Homo-oligomer: A and B are copies of this chain.
Amino acid sequence: MPGISHKGLAMPASPIRKLVPYAEAAKKKGTVVYHLNIGQPDIETPQVVFDKLHSLNLKVIEYSHSAGFESYRKGLADYYRKYQINVTHNDIIITNGGSEAILIGFMTCFNEGDEIIVPEPFYANYNGFATTAGVKLVPVTSSIESGFALPPVEEFEKRITSKTKGILICNPGNPTGYLYTYTELEALRDIVKKHDLYLFADEVYREFCYDGHQPKSAMTLEGIENNVILVDSISKRYSMCGARVGALVSKNKEVIANALKFAQARLSPPTFGQIAGEAALATPDTYFKQVINEYVERRNVLVDGLNKIEGVFCPKPSGAFYCIARLPIDDADKFAQWLLESFSYENQTVMLAPASGFYSTPGLGKNEVRLAYVLNIDALKKAVKCLDEALKVYPGRTVKAKEAAQSN
């Protein structure tokens, strides 16, 4: 039997996947499981999308241009201009979700062995794309105490070697929900410019900024126009994760020309998804206002609720729909499994994403979890109550562990 490739063996399995059998077992026992572990929103996809699909009048589902339908790219360019991102349809390649945008971007810009500095905790799937492309992600740690603000410039400088070819950010951040300030983005701009690095900016949560904050795209930073690669997706924007439509956007003509060759090899992005995405461009502003209001309320219920639990600390993020909480526990992996396997409160429990999967530095995030507020208010309140009750009785609770240690 022939063997598996080195990269195949090195590819990380989904950090949440190992918990899935426990969640399935809990559900089979009749326990309600609140899924705070995944970023699959329950928000309805805009009606304009379904109207378009219901009235679809095609005879043949054809390939599109490898860069995506021109009409869609032109529509997207108009959309970007609302965010001061001045691009034309020629600067855009439509991809199979943001995932393919990252992968094609990495393949186009980086050689095997190149290094990319990325603030941690970061979106775990970046590891998979890095493994595929053979590049090394070099973490620079942000702290929960600062709400996961950008680490000081010196921390980036320390990590820059002759192999460093890029910086990767997610703004607003998954898994932190942190929204970088203009000052932080300008600091990034200066490092990128000084060392002539690529700046990959994953901005798929652009619409989800709260408390009056406005998103500022890395594409608007002056002086690094040829360095910035924007990674985008319609998955979260229109609650259309399954459409698998994203975009790689750059003013760097060389990058787009070479990325297009990777896009040509796979022929075209999905036609149905692009039709849906183009229809979604007409989504009324009221839709987003309602969605933002809903997320703000959910965030407040979740984060305020968590912070009321003794021993829990959870910074309140300004964007996306995630937060990271520090819990009074020994090990979030064990706790997450215990919640599903050994705990229930009024026949309910919670599924969490242990934060260790979002850190690259071993040992970090051991007592942290990521929570996605993609459930409705009522479910979130019940989930917080569950967590409160669970932490009271969890055998690995650190306060108890200390007491037990003292009594021995």
Task: Write the residues of chain A forming the contact surface with B, with a CB cutoff of 8 angstroms.
Answer: 1-2, 4-9, 11-14, 17, 40-45, 49-50, 53-56, 58-64, 66, 96-97, 99-100, 103, 107-112, 125, 127-129, 132, 134, 165-166, 196-198, 226-227, 239-244, 252, 254-255, 258-259, 261-262, 264-273, 276
Question: A196 contacts which chain B residues (CB < 8 A)?
Answer: 1-2
**Other-chain residue from B107, B134, B166 in contact with A8 (beta carbon distance below 8 A):** B107
A205 to chain B: closest CB distance in Å? 15
A254 to chain B: closest CB distance in Å? 6
Question: A42 contacts which chain B residues (CB < 8 A)?
Answer: 60
Task: Indicate the member of A43, A61, A64, A270 with the most B CB atoms within 10 Å.
Answer: A61
Known: A62-B40, A266-B99. A111 touches B272 (CB 8 A): no
Known: A56-B53, A128-B265. A109 touches B8 (CB 8 A): yes
Contact A125 B59 (CB under 8 A): no
Nearest-neighbor residue (CB-CB) of A114 within chain B: B5
Tell me, in angstroms, the Cα distance from A389 to B265 when the chains sit together.
Answer: 34
A25 to chain B: closest CB distance in Å? 18
Sample of 6 more A-B contacts, CB < 8 Å, known A5-B109, A49-B61: A1-B227, A4-B108, A7-B107, A127-B265, A128-B265, A241-B267
Tell me, in angstroms, the Cα distance from A45 to B60 when the chains sit together.
Answer: 5
Nearest-neighbor residue (CB-CB) of A59 within chain B: B44
Contact A58 B50 (CB under 8 A): yes
Contact B96 A244 (CB under 8 A): yes
How many monomers of this chain does the complex have? 2
Task: Indicate the member of A66, A134, A197, A264 with the most B CB atoms within 10 Å.
Answer: A264
Nearest-neighbor residue (CB-CB) of A240 within chain B: B61
Contact A262 B1 (CB under 8 A): no
Tell me, in angstroms, the Cα distance from A16 to B23 when the chains sit together.
Answer: 50
Contact B244 A268 (CB under 8 A): yes
Question: A1 contacts which chain B residues (CB < 8 A)?
Answer: 196, 226-227, 252, 254
A401 to chain B: closest CB distance in Å? 34
What 6 A-B pairs come out closest when comparing CB atoms? A242-B271, A128-B265, A272-B272, A11-B261, A99-B266, A8-B258
Question: A56 contacts which chain B residues (CB < 8 A)?
Answer: 50, 53-54
Nearest-neighbor residue (CB-CB) of A4 within chain B: B258
Nearest-neighbor residue (CB-CB) of A227 within chain B: B2
Question: A59 contacts which chain B residues (CB < 8 A)?
Answer: 44-45
A153 to chain B: closest CB distance in Å? 19
Contact A261 B107 (CB under 8 A): no
